Amino acid sequence: MIFNLRTKKYTEEKDGRLLKFLYNNIIGRIILKLLTMKWLTRLGGCYMNTKLSTRRIPKFVTKNNINMNEYIDEEYKSFNEFFIRKIKDDKRPLPSDENLFISPADSKLTVYPIDDETVLSIKNSKYTIEEIVGDKELVDKYKGGYCLVYRLCVDDYHRYFFIDEGKIKKQYKIKGKFHTVQPIAFKKYKVFSENSRECTILETVNYGDIVQIEVGALMVGKIVNHQLKTFRRGDEKGYFLFGGSTVVLLIEKDKVIIDEEILKHSKEDVETRVLLYDVIGRKK
């Protein structure tokens, strides 16, 4: 179940026939093992960079009900070029008040308080924060704070941005397998701890040290982060190539007050639909 923060309406996400076959059928599971091999993931990624792949765009737009009027009008040379299309500035206005805690991306958001017992229940699978980050000592610093999981699907805007001004303290990569981040995958695999991911420790002006993790997905194999040392609020951090993907943020204790409506729905295992720069809390 997904709650839309803007419309205040609920919707239910459904899995496609192909994903049901891949994750629920014995033959499909065998095919899935092949699909998640890195060489095949890279091959699929190469196809998405070809002119031939543009044939998929019209059907994709219709199937996912994408409003192309929100995006800059241009001729795409590949499906991946379309997938990382840029949105018009006036469609995602950046709030001027730096005390407002904003979303880094279009996504479905779940927020978890961090303590010794924290287990992330994400679409029928369980994960510890340590499994996702890969660093227990680092996680200990964030006890009493929040873990925010932003799940991007194929119909979302796939560029993500910095939520505050600051500088990069550390970056590292964690290798893994690539699975879809659609709901059906969570029934079979620990998707977030298996998928490849990139971790960045951000030293921010208003919210202390934030850990940001980007998670790759089936047929992506590619997280593209810009090589920056410093950044401003609203600067683009990077983007995902084709596939659903996820951004995870770890926030220190006593740095932010999260919107009560979002916290309420998170406790009920209901994701909240948010758009880039939507206000989801404020500085404490």
Measured CA to CA, the distance from residue 256 to residue 280 in angstroms comes to: 10
* Strands 245-251, 146-152: pairing kind: antiparallel
- SS3 for 249? strand
- SS3 for 271? strand
Buried b (16+ CB within 10 A) or exposed e, 113-137: bbeeebebebbebebebebbbbbee
**E-only strand ranges, 87-208:** 100-102, 107-113, 120-122, 125-127, 146-152, 159-161, 166-174, 197-204
Angle 32-217-83 from CA coordinates, rounded to 5°: 115
Tokens describing residue 158: 């796939």
Burial of 112 (0-12, 13-18, 19+ CB in 10 A): buried
Tell me the sheet residues that pair with 61: none
Residues 6+ apart with CB under 8 A from 125: 186, 187, 189, 190, 191
Residue among 111, 75, 215 at smallest CA distance from 158: 215
Residues designated catalytic? 106, 245
Distances (CA, A) of 140 to 4, 143, 147: 32, 6, 12
Measured CA to CA, the distance from residue 82 to residue 61 in angstroms comes to: 10
